[in-house]
C-alpha cells in the first residue's frame, strides 16, 4: 500500500473544491469588467433640426404660444395665426368630426401599422385622419421637403409675404381636403420650406408636436442614410432639380429633399411616431431606375396604403410599377376613384367596396376604368359618405373605395347604408351602363 495515495486524493478533492468556489468570483469579475468597457456607439442619426421644426411649428402652424425671436415679432404672425387657427378649426369641425367616426367603424383590426401613401404631396393631415393608429407613415411625391434653416434669416417684413403665400397654398387642403398641383408647385421655392410646413400644420391639426427632424438619402439596399452637419455643408452647392418636366425648380439644396419627422401627442408617456417624405417621380421610366426607392418600400413588408386626388396616375399605363408594388405589398387601401381600377384589383385577388356615389371621373381619364368603377358602384348597395375624400366625381358626389385582401373584413357593424351624401342614389344596372 502506497501511503502517498491517500494524501493525493485529499489534495485533488481540496483543489476541486477551491475551483468550484472561484467560478462565481471569476464570473462576477468578468461581468464587472465588461460593464466598465465602453459600449459601441449607436449609428449616427445625422443632424437634427428639431429647433427649426419647433420654431416653424410655432410660426406657421401656430402651435403653442412660446415667445418668438425678436426678428419675427410683429403683426405678421398674429394675423397669420388668426387665419390658421380658424382654418384648422374648420377642418376639424367640417371634416374630422365626420371622418373620424367613419374610419373608426370602417378599419378592421390587424392592419399593418406602416402606411404608404404614393402621390401624397404635403398631405400628412389626411394620412393621420385616415389611419390614426399608424406608427409609421411614408408619403412619396414629386415635391421636395425644403430647407428649414431659412426661418432664421427671415425678418418681420419678409415673413409677412412668406406667410401670405403659405396660406394661399394651404387653402385647398384645409378647406377642400385636396391640394391642386399648381399650389404644390409653389412649395418648391420661397423663404419657408413649403412641404415641411404642410406636415407641421398636419401635426397641429391632430394635436401632435414635432420631436425631431432629419434629412436622409437612400442607400443601394433601401436603408436610410441620415445627413450629418458636415455632409450638409458639403452638399450645399448641389442645387435640387425638378423631378418632372414643367415642375417648379426647387430653390434649395438637394440634400433637403427627403425628411424624417418624429412626433407625439402631449400626453405623458405618448408613443413616438414617424413620418417620412420621399421625393420621387413614380412613373415607370423613373421608378425602373430608382432601385433604392423600390428596395426601401419593399423592405417594409406588408403595408397599409392610401391615395387620393392622384390625377388618375394608377389608371395610367405609365405607372404600372408603383401599382404593382401596391398590389404585391398592401393588405388594405383607402382611396378615391384615383386608386386601383377594379379589373386590376380583382385579378390580383383583391375585393373592393364603394361608398358615396360615382358617375364619372373628375378629370378626363380612361373610359374603360370609368365603366368599371360605375359597375362597381352599381353592383353594391348604396353606402353613405358624409365627407369629401380627394376628388369629387363628375357630378360632384363624394366617393371612397376600399381595396382589400379578402381576409380583412371591410363591412364591420355601424357603416350606414342608404342615400349617398350630396346627391341621389346612383344604383345603375350593368345593362344601363353598357347601353
> In the predicted model, is pLDDT for residue 356 greater than 80?
yes
Domain count for the chain, please give it: 1
For residue 249, tell me if it sits in a domain.
yes
Residue among 305, 348, 346, 300 nearest 324 (CA): 348
For residue 247, tell me if it sits in a domain.
yes
Instruction: Give me the pLDDT at residue 68, please.
Output: 85
The H-or-E segment that residue 185 falls in is: helix 181-185
Higher per-residue confidence, 202 vs 28: 202
Backbone angles phi, psi at 146, to 5 degrees: 115, 165
Q: What is the mean pLDDT of residues 337-357?
A: 97
Q: Which three cell numbers stand for residue 126?
A: 389626411
CA separation for the pair 282, 367 (Å, rounded): 23
**CB within 8 Å of 367: residues ≥ 6 apart:** none
For residue 272, tell me if it sits in a domain.
yes
> In the predicted model, is pLDDT for residue 182 greater than 80?
no
For residue 422, tell me if it sits in a domain.
no
Instruction: Give me the pLDDT at residue 428, please.
Output: 34
**Residues present in the chain in total:** 435
Q: pTM of this prediction? A: 0.82
Instruction: Give me the pLDDT at residue 160, please.
Output: 85
For residue 374, tell me if it sits in a domain.
no
For residue 128, tell me if it sits in a domain.
yes
CA separation for the pair 216, 223 (Å, rounded): 10
For residue 250, tell me if it sits in a domain.
yes
Q: Which three cell numbers stand for residue 216?
A: 436622409
Mean pLDDT of the chain, nearest integer: 83
Q: Which three cell numbers stand for residue 355?
A: 361608398
> In the predicted model, is pLDDT for residue 381 greater than 80?
yes
Owning domain of residue 127: 46-280
Q: What is the rounded radius of gyration, in angstroms, for the C-alpha atoms of the chain?
A: 28
CA separation for the pair 238, 255 (Å, rounded): 8
Residues facing 429 on adjacent strands: none
Instruction: Give me the pLDDT at residue 149, please.
Output: 92
CA separation for the pair 400, 379 (Å, rounded): 15
Q: How confident is the model at residue 183 (pLDDT cuts 50, 70, 90)?
A: low
- The distance from CA 93 to its chain's CA centroid, rounded to whole angstroms, is 23
> In the predicted model, is pLDDT for residue 40 greater than 80?
no
CB 254 within 8 A of CB 238: yes
Q: What is the pLDDT of residues 147-163, one digit of tens each?
A: 999 888 877 777 888 88
Residue 337: helix, strand or coil by DSSP? coil
Residue 225: helix, strand or coil by DSSP? strand
Residue 271: helix, strand or coil by DSSP? coil
For residue 119, tell me if it sits in a domain.
yes
> In the predicted model, is pLDDT for residue 325 greater than 90?
yes
The H-or-E segment that residue 434 falls in is: helix 430-434
CB 280 within 8 A of CB 143: no
CA separation for the pair 376, 369 (Å, rounded): 10
Task: For residue 82, count other CB atoms closer than 10 A to its CB.
Answer: 11
Pairing of strands 330-335, 303-307: parallel
> In the predicted model, is pLDDT for residue 365 greater than 80?
yes
Place of cell 371622418: 99
Task: For residue 19, count other CB atoms closer than 10 A to its CB.
Answer: 10
Lowest-confidence region among 23-32, 64-73, 220-229 = 23-32
Amino acid at each position: 500500500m502506497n501511503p502517498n495515495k491517500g494524501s493525493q486524493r485529499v489534495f485533488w478533492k481540496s483543489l476541486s473544491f477551491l475551483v468550484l468556489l472561484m467560478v462565481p468570483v471569476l464570473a462576477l469579475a468578468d461581468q464587472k469588467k465588461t460593464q466598465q468597457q465602453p459600449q459601441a456607439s449607436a449609428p449616427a442619426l445625422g443632424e437634427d433640426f428639431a429647433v427649426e421644426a419647433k420654431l416653424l411649428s410655432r410660426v406657421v402652424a401656430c402651435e403653442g404660444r412660446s415667445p418668438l425671436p425678436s426678428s419675427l415679432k410683429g403683426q405678421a404672425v398674429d394675423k397669420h395665426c388668426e387665419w390658421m387657427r380658424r382654418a384648422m378649426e374648420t377642418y376639424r369641425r367640417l371634416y374630422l368630426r365626420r371622418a373620424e367616426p367613419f374610419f373608426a367603424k370602417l378599419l378592421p383590426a390587424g392592419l399593418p401599422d406602416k402606411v404608404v401613401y404614393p402621390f401624397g404631396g404635403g398631405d400628412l393631415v389626411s394620412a393621420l385622419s385616415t389611419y390614426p393608429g399608424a406608427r409609421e407613415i411614408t408619403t412619396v411625391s414629386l415635391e421636395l421637403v425644403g430647407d428649414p434653416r431659412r426661418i432664421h434669416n427671415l425678418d418681420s417684413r419678409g415673413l409677412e409675404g412668406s406667410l401670405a403665400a403659405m396660406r394661399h397654398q394651404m387653402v385647398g387642403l384645409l378647406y377642400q381636403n385636396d391640394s391642386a398641383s399648381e399650389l404644390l408647385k409653389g412649395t418648391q421655392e420661397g423663404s419657408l420650406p413649403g412641404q415641411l410646413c404642410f406636415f407641421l400644420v398636419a401635426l397641429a391639426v391632430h394635436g401632435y408636436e414635432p420631436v425631431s427632424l432629419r434629412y436622409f438619402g437612400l442607400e443601394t439596399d433601401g436603408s436610410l442614410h441620415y445627413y450629418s452637419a458636415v455632409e450638409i455643408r458639403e452638399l450645399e452647392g448641389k442645387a435640387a432639380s425638378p423631378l418632372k418636366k414643367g415642375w417648379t425648380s426647387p430653390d434649395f439644396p438637394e440634400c433637403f429633399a427627403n425628411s424624417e419627422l418624429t412626433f407625439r401627442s402631449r400626453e405623458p408617456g405618448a408613443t413616438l411616431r414617424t413620418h417620412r417624405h420621399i421625393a420621387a417621380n413614380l412613373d415607370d421610366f423613373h421608378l425602373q431606375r430608382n432601385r433604392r426607392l423600390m428596395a426601401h418600400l419593399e423592405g417594409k413588408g406588408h403595408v397599409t396604403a392610401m391615395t387620393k386626388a392622384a390625377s388618375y396616375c394608377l389608371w395610367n399605363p405609365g405607372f404600372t410599377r408603383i401599382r404593382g408594388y401596391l398590389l404585391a405589398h398592401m393588405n388594405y387601401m383607402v382611396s378615391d376613384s384615383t386608386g386601383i381600377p377594379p379589373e386590376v384589383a380583382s385579378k390580383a385577388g383583391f375585393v373592393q367596396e364603394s361608398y358615396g356615389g360615382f358617375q364619372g371621373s373628375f378629370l378626363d381619364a380612361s373610359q374603360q376604368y370609368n365603366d368599371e368603377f360605375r359597375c362597381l358602384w352599381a353592383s353594391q348597395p348604396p353606402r353613405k359618405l358624409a365627407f369629401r375624400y380627394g376628388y369629387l366625381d363628375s357630378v360632384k358626389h363624394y366617393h371612397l373605395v376600399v381595396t382589400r385582401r379578402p381576409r380583412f373584413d371591410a363591412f364591420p357593424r355601424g357603416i350606414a347604408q342608404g342615400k349617398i351624401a350630396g346627391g341621389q342614389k346612383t344604383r345603375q344596372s350593368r345593362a344601363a351602363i353598357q347601353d
